[in-house]
């Protein structure tokens, strides 16, 4: 526990760090919440809010459409509509600002966990350093797009990071996760379910069973409260990725999205085979890497690997889903003493700051560069995710010795 004197030393720098983040985020928030066209205002937050309104009014959840010109459907599991009920307590304009503040607060917290080894070097000034990093992070394209659309990615990433990096209150040791945070995240948005594959691969059965059980509990409860909507989602809406929008557009940066742009016809057997082969290849590389970080006691790197895996293998991964990149940059940077790791982390941040997928789309529309090169730029977030896995292996995992004897997973969890 920190003593009162240490807390008093840190408090002013913490306050300054918060002000730095607020000063950086305010122009972005003003642009998207004040100057932005009203017809494009917080369009994803409106989807969540309309889903909650359907629950209250009894309107069929998966027939919901937002107002013109978007006409966006509700695409999440029924449980997500229940979690969105607080969005109804105030006018939409108020909730848009409140949601933006929440995203910035969660970014602050995520930076504090993901960059912890680096922040420790600043002593009682760590709060200022955290504010500076978060102030830069809010301008990364995936994060700023989250503010633009009123997205839920900051919540999903924070829940998973909180879960996997939790430590024992007794001795401060890492326990490998409780499973509950991932369960709630997966019940809202299915992609965090990749953590279940990781826990199965590392034989963390207690965490796996707890997580799947918690997700099943809230899902069954949602089914009992909304049986028609649940039946519609699990038998129809879930199986129709086109409900999410045009899957072959630049915004979809998953491996499937890349294939839709450059591969064979999506209805062909060849497309299905290539997509399946790519998914298996990513899992075959990523799951052993995540297990290695698990054995090394590097939970932030575990989240980074699993987050990139989910991004790549999901049928649809929009640009703003790359919010996981904040965790990746922190895991690659470490304490910042290794210049190679620091350089790669900085390069990764720069690539997420510039609008590379849209640059590629613009290049395709012209004839200044060959189409093949333009496609590489257009699909840059898929490349970023793959290179992130490679960097985590070469710069972090490979350079650390794995303990000779791997403890039994349940012994790790119980502290025996």
Q: Is there a domain that residue 127 lies in? A: no
Residue 318 falls inside a structural domain: yes
Q: Which domain holds residue 268?
A: 241-402
Is 285 domain-assigned? yes
> What are the Cα distances from residue 396, in Å, to 114, 307, 309, 331?
14, 17, 17, 8
Closest CA to 110 of 149, 160, 55: 160
Contact 115, 126 (CB under 8 A): no
In a domain, 300, yes or no: yes
Rounded-to-integer distance, Cα 53 and Cα 87, Å: 9
For residue 268, is it within any domain?
yes
Q: What is the pLDDT of residue 168?
A: 60
**Residue 114 belongs to a domain:** no
| Torsions phi, psi for 75 (to 5 deg) | -120, 5
Task: Answer yes or no: are the C-beta atoms of 192 and 186 closer than 8 Å.
Answer: yes
CA dist 119 and 114 (Å) reads: 10
* Residue 340 forms part of a structural domain: yes
| 389 domain-assigned | yes
Residue 413: its pLDDT value, please? 37
Identify the H or E element spanning 377: helix 371-378
Contact between 129 and 181 (Cβ < 8 Å): no
Q: What domain count does the chain have?
A: 1
pLDDT tens string, the chain, 416 residues long: the values are 456 667 788 889 999 999 999 999 999 999 999 999 988 899 999 999 999 999 999 999 999 999 888 889 999 999 999 999 999 999 999 999 999 999 999 999 999 999 999 999 999 999 999 999 999 999 999 999 999 999 999 999 999 999 999 876 555 567 667 899 999 999 999 999 999 999 999 999 999 999 999 999 999 999 999 999 999 999 988 888 777 778 999 999 999 999 999 989 998 999 999 999 999 999 999 999 999 999 999 999 999 999 999 999 999 999 999 999 999 999 999 999 999 999 999 999 999 999 999 999 999 988 888 999 999 999 999 999 999 999 999 999 998 887 765 544 444 333 33
Following CA atoms 20, 21, 25, 26 in sequence, which dihedral angle do they give, to the nearest 10 degrees?
Answer: -50
The candidate with the shortest Cα–Cα distance to 78, out of 245, 215, 197, 244, is: 215
């Amino acid at each position: 526990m920190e003593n009162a004197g240490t807390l008093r030393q840190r408090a002013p720098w913490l306050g300054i760090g918060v002000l730095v983040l607020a000063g950086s985020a305010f122009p972005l928030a003003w642009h998207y919440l004040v100057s932005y066209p009203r017809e494009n205002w917080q369009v994803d937050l409106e989807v969540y809010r309309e889903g909650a309104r359907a629950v209250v009014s009894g309107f069929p959840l998966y027939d919901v459409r937002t107002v013109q010109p978007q006409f966006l459907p509700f695409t999440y599991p029924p449980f997500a509509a229940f979690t969105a009920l607080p969005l109804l307590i105030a006018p939409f304009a108020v909730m848009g600002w409140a949601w933006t503040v929440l995203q910035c607060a969660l970014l602050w917290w995520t930076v504090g966990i993901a960059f912890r080894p680096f922040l420790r070097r600043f002593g009682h000034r760590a709060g200022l350093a955290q504010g500076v990093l978060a102030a830069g992070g809010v301008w990364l394209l995936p994060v700023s797009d989250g503010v633009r659309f009123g997205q839920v990615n900051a919540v999903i990433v924070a829940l998973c990071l909180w879960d996997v990096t939790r430590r024992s209150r007794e001795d401060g040791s890492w326990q490998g996760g409780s499973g509950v945070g991932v369960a709630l995240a997966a019940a809202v948005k299915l992609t965090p379910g990749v953590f279940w594959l990781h826990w199965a691969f590392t034989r963390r059965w207690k965490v796996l069973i707890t997580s799947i059980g918690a997700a099943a509990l809230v899902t069954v409860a949602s089914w009992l409260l909304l049986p028609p909507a649940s039946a519609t989602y699990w038998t129809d809406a879930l199986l129709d990725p086109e409900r999410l929008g045009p899957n072959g557009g630049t915004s979809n940066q998953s491996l499937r999205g890349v294939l839709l742009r450059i591969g064979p016809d999506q209805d062909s057997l060849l497309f299905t085979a290539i997509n399946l082969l790519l998914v298996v290849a990513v899992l075959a590389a990523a799951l052993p890497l995540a297990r290695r970080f698990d054995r090394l006691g590097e939970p932030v790197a575990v989240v980074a690997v699993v987050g990139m895996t989910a991004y790549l293998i999901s049928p649809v991964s929009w640009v703003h889903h790359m919010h996981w990149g904040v965790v990746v940059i922190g895991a690659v940077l470490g304490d910042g003493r290794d210049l190679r790791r620091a350089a790669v982390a900085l390069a990764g941040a720069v690539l997420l700051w510039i609008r590379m997928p849209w640059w590629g789309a613009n290049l395709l529309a012209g004839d200044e560069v060959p189409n093949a090169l333009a496609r590489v730029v257009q699909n840059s977030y898929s490349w970023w995710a793959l290179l992130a896995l490679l960097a985590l292996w070469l710069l972090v995992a490979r350079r650390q010795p794995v303990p000779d004897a791997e403890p039994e997973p349940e012994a790790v969890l119980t502290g025996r």
